[in-house]
């Protein structure tokens, strides 16, 4: 069951690579949050109930509801155009994301370590690299934030793989999620909306040498 959920997560990445609208990104983020909720519930069998509740709350409330809702609010309030504006055509993006997934599978094949569940490793790494790819291949600042959230989801999957032995690291991961998202989205993106009406990354290119 965990494997099915994780593979579903990898499939959302493919969909994300060809999505045209920001709204679709948000739906995918919600879906990823729900998938992570399910995976967490199935995987973390050895941690204390309180800790499990904390993690579940974080995935469902934070990843699946609060952040997408807040981004939706930002998009509406700042009147950001709804197209994602990639630098590359969707077809190329699809091929690149597929290549990322295939190469992580090949990479994980070369690792001989019985301590690690390969599925977790593959899905985590491909989510991570897809997130990085989204950051560099999209024009809008808000799509960069989406890319960063995808990276965080990937890291979360990786931390689940060792969550049973080291719950402390899992809590650290939650801290990372909350801290970085609040910093990037809450305090800061609000301000960008105040100063520039159209948060386009092209407006933030004056600082250079």
Helix (H) / strand (E) containing 102: helix 90-109
Nearest residue (CB) to another protein, 49 versus 110: 110
User: Which token pair is 165?
Assistant: 């032995």
Residue 158 engages another protein in binding (rule: CB under 8 A):
yes
Stretch that binds another protein, among 47-55, 61-69, 89-97, 189-197 (CB under 8 A): 189-197
Alpha carbon distances (Å) from 143 to 37, 49, 82, 190, 196: 23, 36, 11, 15, 16
Asked if 116 touches another protein (CB under 8 A), the answer is yes
Number of residues lying near another protein (CB under 8 A): 36
Which is nearer to another protein, 53 or 183 (by Cβ)?
A: 183
184 binds another protein (CB under 8 A): yes
Q: Residue with structure tokens 């699809």?
A: 94
Q: How far apart are CA 68 and CA 93, in angstroms?
A: 23
Judged by CB under 8 A, does residue 58 bind another protein?
no
* C-alpha 68, offset from chain centre: 11
Interface residue with another protein, options 155, 164, 186, 198 (CB under 8 A): 155
Cα–Cα separations (whole angstroms), residue 163 to 25, 68, 94, 168: 28, 25, 31, 8
Residue 137 three-state SS: helix
Q: Can you tell me which of 7, 57, 92, 183 binds another protein, judged by CB under 8 A?
A: 183
End-to-end CA distance of the chain: 52
Compare residues 97 and 161 and give the one whose CB is closer to another protein: 161
The residues that touch another protein, with contacts defined as CB under 8 A, are 111, 113, 115-116, 128, 141, 144, 148, 151-152, 155, 158-159, 162, 165-166, 168-169, 172-173, 175-176, 179-180, 183-184, 188, 191-192, 195-196, 204-207, 209
């Amino acid at each position: 069951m965990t494997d099915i959920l994780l593979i579903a997560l990898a499939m959302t990445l493919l969909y994300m690579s060809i999505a045209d609208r920001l709204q679709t990104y948000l739906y995918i983020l919600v879906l990823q949050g729900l998938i992570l909720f399910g995976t967490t519930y199935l995987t973390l069998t050895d941690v204390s109930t309180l800790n499990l509740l904390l993690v579940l709350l974080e995935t469902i409330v934070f990843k699946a509801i609060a952040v997408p809702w807040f981004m939706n609010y930002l998009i509406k309030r700042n009147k950001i155009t709804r197209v994602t504006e990639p630098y590359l055509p969707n077809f190329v993006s699809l091929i690149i994301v597929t290549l990322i997934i295939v190469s992580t599978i090949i990479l994980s094949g070369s690792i001989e370590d019985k301590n690690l569940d390969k599925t977790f490793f593959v899905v985590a790494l491909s989510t991570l690299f897809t997130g990085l790819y989204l950051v560099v291949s999209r024009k809008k600042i808000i799509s960069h934030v989406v890319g960063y959230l995808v990276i965080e989801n990937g890291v979360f999957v990786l931390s689940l793989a060792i969550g049973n032995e080291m719950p402390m690291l899992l809590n650290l991961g939650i801290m990372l999620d909350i801290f970085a998202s609040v910093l990037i989205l809450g305090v800061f993106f609000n301000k960008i909306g105040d100063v520039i009406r159209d948060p386009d990354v092209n407006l933030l290119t004056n600082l250079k040498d």
